[in-house]
Structure 1
Amino acid sequence: MSADKKGKKAILFGASGFVGSYLLEGLLNDADYEQVTIVVRKNLNVSHPKLKTLIGDYHSLPGLKDEIVADEVFIALGTTKKNTPDQKIYYQVDHDYPVLAAQIGKERGAKSVFLVSAVGPDAGSSIFYIRTKGETERDVIAQDLLHTHIFRPSMIMGNRKESRTLEKSLIKIFSLINPLFIGPMQKFRGIEGKDIAKAMLAAAKKPAGKVKIYEWKEMKELL
């Protein structure tokens, strides 16, 4: 990047999560970005000249608005049924917070939003998880940023810090059955968390239309 060309400013929500931690590392190491702001509930103890840490959550985000300046918004928020059994709080984390993040990002100058969703979202589904993902996608798109990028992984693979016994078993199964998902079923293939982050960062460097959906195949093509 030439000295006279200013770098981009990114804001990242979900930096403490599995995909989010890879995104943070990638953004900080990318010469295209001059500032990376993260909104986290507690300090991650990460130090970097480009990093700006804001302590906050869904409820306090509007109060942080003046400290947010971004060209791009990266959203890797999410929870699990085990960590958040209350459906109302789950919906707040998985739907309300991403939508608010996109809305405030746009107000503060962002032109693009990059959202981690999930395979098979459907706002009309009777299944809570699938419906929530569908409503989140619908409502983030409705914020009407110049570019909306939506990433729909199936099983997110890789080594997590927290121990999830069932998930580890599922990842082993997916490693074996991944090649069986062919044609239209390809979208159900598992993908490494670090590869989702890489695909998101690669997408930020490519010309894009108004709304772009990335399933397994599209994410793999960016790597």
Structure 2
Amino acid sequence: MSQVLITGATGLVGGYLLRMLIQERKVNYIAAPTRRPLAAMPGVFNPHAPKLSDALAQVCDPIDIVFCCLGTTRREAGSKEAFVHADYALVVDTALRAKKLGAKHLVVVSSMGANASSPFFYNKVKGKMEAALIAQKWEHLTIVRPSMLLGHRDKRRFNESIFAPLFRIFPGNWKSIHARDVARAMLKEALSPSQEGVNIIPSAKLRELARGEA
């Protein structure tokens, strides 16, 4: 049985993943710190505070597996600084807190194109986030890099509205992927890791995992 921590549970991927965790018989404890309180869910400990770091600090029980589904855009965040805080600092904070509580496996949502040397701000921040997590030397670190995400959002993102039709017809890793499939692949990899150390899973491989083909 596993004790799990998840951040980003109010987001697109995190919402699907949380519902899957609740139904998963191999999971007997779920801590889901958030800024806004979640609706009551069976078996979910939901500390909440205006600052996610404060909610995260309230998680004190031992943890085996940590899922980080945090992610926004510069437009949604409001500034470069706010984006870095959400997609870098809070991700690193999640990992450090979970490691302190005994976690051995971190599964994190990154992005296709993540590269610390990228000239593109979004990809560069994602790449630096990955590098920071790798430097923590996890026993198991699973980094998933989905393409454009499909699924219902209460507030649709501008770029998704424009480019979603194109990404549906792109091949391979560029093809858009449903957030539910990303969550399913993350859970499968968490409960049965395919390798030790760092495992970076591109979007096409996530689809295979979700369909049970890998």
TM-score (norm 1): 0.87
Identical positions, percent:
30
Deviation at 1:69, TM superposition (A): 2.5
1:214 maps to 201
Assess if the C-alpha contact under 8 Å between 1:118 and 1:154 holds in 2: yes
The residue correspondences of 1:63-212 to structure 2 (distance < 5 A) are 63-65=57-59, 67-164=60-157, 166-175=159-168, 177-178=169-170, 181=171, 186-207=172-193, 208-212=195-199
Shift in alpha-carbon separation, 1:61–1:43, aligned structure 2, 3 A: closer
1:36 maps to 30
2:13 maps to 19
1:3 maps to none
Q: Distance in 2 between matches of 1:72 and 1:98?
A: 14
Bigger shift: 111-120 or 37-46? 37-46
Deviation at 1:86, TM superposition (A): 1.3
Aligned length: 208
Q: Distance in 2 between matches of 1:127 and 1:160?
A: 25
Counterpart AA for 2:12: F
Bigger shift: 51-60 or 187-196? 51-60
Q: Deviations over 1:84-111 (max 9, x none)?
A: 1211111010001101111110110100
Counterpart AA for 1:193: A
Assess if the C-alpha contact under 8 Å between 2:33 and 2:52 holds in 1: no
Deviation at 1:58, TM superposition (A): 4.3
The answer for unaligned runs of 5 or more in structure 1 is 1-6
Assess if the C-alpha contact under 8 Å between 2:167 and 2:174 holds in 1: no
For the residue of structure 2 that corresponds to 1:35, the secondary structure is strand
Deviation at 1:164, TM superposition (A): 3.5
Q: Distance in 2 between matches of 1:89 and 1:165?
A: 18
Counterpart AA for 1:20: G
Q: Distance in 1 between matches of 2:191 and 2:32?
A: 20
